[in-house]
Chains A and B, each alone.
Chain A
Amino acid sequence: MSIVHKDTPSTKWYLPGILSGMGLTIKKLFYNLFHRKKMPTLNYPEEKYEYSPRFKGNHVLTVKKDGSLRCTACMLCATNCPADCITIVAAEHEDPTVEKYPIHYEIDILRCVFCGFCEEACPVDAIRMGPEWQTPGLADDNFHYDIQRLAYRPQLKGGILSRVDDEERHQFGL
């Protein structure tokens, strides 16, 4: 940031600046008193602002039709993550059509910069950035979100369905 020092009488003296500032404050105060509907601020937390569903907030791991995780543990999201906050441990699935799945998937949400690169990297729409943004916690809370929280937290009502479906792909002969 560069600071420009202007050496004019209005900046050199104390009162002109203060008075013009106070003037603006008082003008807005009276305007808002008479136009309460147009007031831009909210009485948070009683009133909440609804973000667009496209807002990039807390992550969601999507699920397949049978409710199991869509993620194939390819680790592309972890590779792409600039904050290095995704930890995945892959394992062999009994079902040969699934083959690989994550037994452990963790996002260190305090390190996450909400850039959405993970969402972009995922080849199977397994991770999305959800609209939730209010997830405060106390100091001893767990900010390493695990599979349970990412895919099956109560707000998601049993999980969000992924757009990529293997059965469909097989039907198309892919």
Chain B
Amino acid sequence: MLKCKINGVEVEVKEGTTIIEAFKIAGQKIAHYCWHPGLSVAGVCRLCMVEIKGQPRLQIACNTPVQDGMEITNQSEQVKETVRWGLDFHLINHPLDCPICDQAGECGLQDQYMEFGLYTPEMAEPKVKKHKVVDLGSKIVLDTERCILCSRCVRFTAEVTKTYELGIFNRGDRSEIGTFENKPLENNYALNTVDICPVGALTSKDFRFRQRVWYLQERESICTGCSTGCNIKIYFNEEGLFRIRPVYNEKVNGYWMCDEGRNIYKFVNKENRLLKAKKGRKGEWLEMEGGAAAKDVAHHFKSLDKERIALVVTGQFSNEEYEALFQFYKKNVGNDFVYHWINNKESFEDFDGLLLRGDRNPNTKGLLQKLEDYRYEQTWAHLEENLKAGKIETLIVAGPENPLWFPDLKEKVQQWGIQLSHLIWLSSAKVQAVDEVECLTWQIPLKTFFEKDGTYVNYQGLEQKSHRIATIVPGALSLSEAAHLMAGEEYKVDMAPILKGPKKNYYVHRRGYL
């Protein structure tokens, strides 16, 4: 362990720690652009200047290891002056189009300028014009004028994805970020470059111009896109959810997340949700509230033949919900016809080498554990057989939150619609096929991960808690609430605050990924 003093604060750090890391440990502010904890050190922005006692020249903090007994400061006049003029150099050719820049509000240049800059520019020469609105494929737009050439994005594609799409072309003040032969940047982790870009040079097409960032609130959660369970931050406001970004978790995802996971917010928003419970069959639906529908199921349950009921579950729910559902099933039905619906059998074990796994369910591990606890050991083939033989009349389906990852969804539902006489469909997603079934059906809208508390077990067996944040569909139930109500119990449904009303200005400061 090495002892050093950072701005007068004494800290102990491990051998090999750089000064900038020591600053972070000491909780001291330091200006920087090119350094990112998840990437190698480049030392190109020259903003992280510090003064070390006994050394005549200033050093960059990101590339200087701490030595025992160092006394380091970035509060001296000399450092402040250097940072200020360093910033001025960065801004010489910057277009300053903050009004139309998506990064405004969480921009490294804005933050650093307000904190370390505050000078009057002294550059009289015309700005060097570069390329604006460069299309980098289906996900990203590049603005080379705004780029400060920190090379974070280049290092990301070289070190993390190892796809080497991005590079710096030309020299001097004409240097630009670009892709070789203008090939698109299409890898599945490309949007991480948008996150780590300290300025608005790389912007995401999906989020571009849809909101100003100060209209968004942020809350942490767990990605339900696959069994990795990346830690995420959800950005939302009264109009819905708008984007998802990764949160650092050493054990799970590091600093990154995949681009497919960033789409899960779309399945929480109203457009893709089952908004009202319905009872009936094709062409004659009776709309009602979720709770009323669940109670109606409870009412009907008495008249159903218990030996001809079966339950289908997907790996999309939390441990608590499986527990409640199986309790309900054990008490009210009693047979062991419980089946695990595996959505993509062929690619279930796939892994792309970084984060994304073929198992597109957040809690398959948890489900398997619960199935084992309750000794439900039936295979899917058994269900098919029974259905064919007409041995099953009623099917309870705890269906997908994200129908996109259930390619056989439509086909299965159609098949069930013919083979069954009752279907109890529990799902948060709007599924066209369910609206067209011929048998008597209850559709009960469920809450998504955004609206309920729950524990998810990822592929490593790591339990992660996800907390409810707000309510998008007021009538929706969680699977446990639905189970309690279907059992005919008196049960009070608890709800997070509903998102409604005009969007508000949430002042954001230092939200960027610096």
Cα-based distance from A92 to B100 in the complex (angstroms): 10
Number of interface residues of A (CB under 8 A): 20
**Once the chains are docked, how many angstroms separate the CA of A76 from the CA of B210?**
14
19 residue pairs from A and B, CB less than 8 Å apart: A72-B99, A73-B100, A73-B209, A74-B98, A74-B104, A75-B212, A76-B99, A79-B214, A79-B505, A90-B210, A91-B209, A96-B132, A96-B133, A99-B100, A99-B132, A100-B209, A123-B98, A124-B99, A170-B129
Q: Report how far A56 CA is from B502 CA in the complex, Å.
A: 26
Provide the bound-state CA to CA distance between A170 and B132, in Å.
14
Q: Does chain B have a CB within 8 A of A174?
A: yes
Mask of A80-115 contacts with B, CB within 8 angstroms, 1/0: 000010000011100011011000000000000000
* Identity of the chain B residue whose Cβ is nearest the Cβ of A99 in the assembled complex: B100
Instruction: Check if A136 is an interface residue, CB within 8 A of chain B.
Output: no
- Within residues 459 to 493 of chain B, which ones have a CB less than 8 A from any CB in chain A? none
* Interchain residue pairs A-B with the least CB separation, the first 5: A173-B126, A74-B99, A96-B133, A100-B100, A90-B209
**Contact A92:B126 (CB < 8 A) given known A73-B100, A79-B214, A99-B132:** no
Residues of B within 8 A of A (CB): 97-100, 104, 125-127, 129, 132-133, 208-210, 212, 214, 502, 505
Distance between B237 CB and nearest chain A CB, rounded to angstroms: 13
Quick one: given A84-B502, A173-B126, are A74 and B100 in contact (CB under 8 Å)?
Answer: yes
Nearest opposing residue in chain B for A92, CB measure = B209
Q: Is the CB of A173 within 8 A of B209?
A: no
B87: min CB distance to chain A, Å: 18
A-B contact count (CB 8 A): 39
Q: Does A172 contact B (CB under 8 A)?
A: yes
Q: Which residues of A contact B502 (CB under 8 A)?
A: 84
Q: Which residues of chain A (24-50) have a CB below 8 Å from chain B?
A: none
Q: How far is the CA of A24 from the CA of B132 in the complex (A)?
A: 72
| Nearest opposing residue in chain B for A122, CB measure | B99
Contact residues of A: prevailing secondary structure = loop
A123: B residues at CB distance < 8 A = 98-99
> Provided the pairs A79-B505, A100-B209 are in contact, do residues A173 and B127 lie with their beta carbons within 8 angstroms?
yes
A79–B100 touching, CB < 8 Å: no
CA distance A99 to B146 in the complex (A): 14
Nearest residue, chain B, Cβ from A97: B132
Complex interface: chain A residues within 8 A of B212 (CB): 74-75, 79
* Interface core residue of B99, B127, B210 (most chain A CB under 10 Å): B99
**How far, in whole Å, are A73 and B125 apart by their CA atoms in the complex?**
29
Residue of A nearest to B124 (CB): A173
CA distance A173 to B95 in the complex (A): 10
Smallest CB gap from A95: residue in B: B133
Q: How far is the CA of A117 from the CA of B223 in the complex (A)?
A: 41
B126, B133, B505: the one contacting A172 at CB < 8 Å is B126
**Contact partners of A92 in chain B: CB under 8 A:** 208-209
Chain A residue nearest to B127 (CB atoms) is A173
A-chain residues with CB within 8 Å of residue B133 when the two chains form the complex: 96, 99
Q: Scoring A residues 136 to 174 as 1 if CB is less than 8 Å from chain B, else 0, what string do you get?
A: 000000000000000000000000000000000010111
Give CA–CA (A96, B131) in the complex, Å: 9
Q: Is the CB of A174 within 8 A of B127?
A: yes
User: Which residues of A are found within 8 Å of B208, using beta-carbon distances?
Assistant: 92
- In the complex, what residue of chain B is closest to A88 when comparing beta carbons? B212
A139 to chain B, nearest CB (A): 23
Residue of B at shortest CB range from A87? B502
* Docked pose: A3 CA to B502 CA in angstroms: 40
**In the complex, what residues of B have CB within 8 A of residue A174's CB?**
126-127
Chain B, Cβ-Cβ closest to A74: B99
Expressed in whole angstroms, the Cα–Cα distance for A174 and B505 within the complex equals 30
Chain B residue contacts of A73, Cβ below 8 A: 100, 209
Bound Cα distance A73, B97 (Å): 12
The distance from the CB of A138 to the nearest CB of chain B, in whole angstroms, is 26
By beta carbon, the residue of chain A nearest B135 is A96
**Cβ of B137 to closest chain A Cβ, rounded Å:** 15
**How far apart are B509's CB and chain A's nearest CB, in angstroms?**
14
Identify 5 new A-B residue pairs, CB closer than 8 A, beyond the known A74-B212, A92-B209, A123-B98: A73-B209, A79-B214, A79-B505, A96-B133, A97-B132
Taking CB as reference atom, which chain B residue is nearest A173? B126
In whole angstroms, how far apart are the Cα atoms of A123 and B133 in the complex? 21
A91 vs B211: C-alpha distance when bound (angstroms): 11
Nearest chain B CB to A113 CB, angstrom units: 16
Q: Nearest chain A CB to B123's CB is how many angstroms away?
A: 10
Contact assessment for B100 and A72 in the assembled complex, using a CB-CB cutoff below 8 Å? yes
A124 CB to closest chain B CB (Å) equals 7
Q: Which residue on chain A has the smallest CB distance to residue B209?
A: A90
By a CB distance below 8 angstroms, the chain B residues around A90 are: 209-210
Contact B125 A173, beta carbon cutoff 8 Å: yes
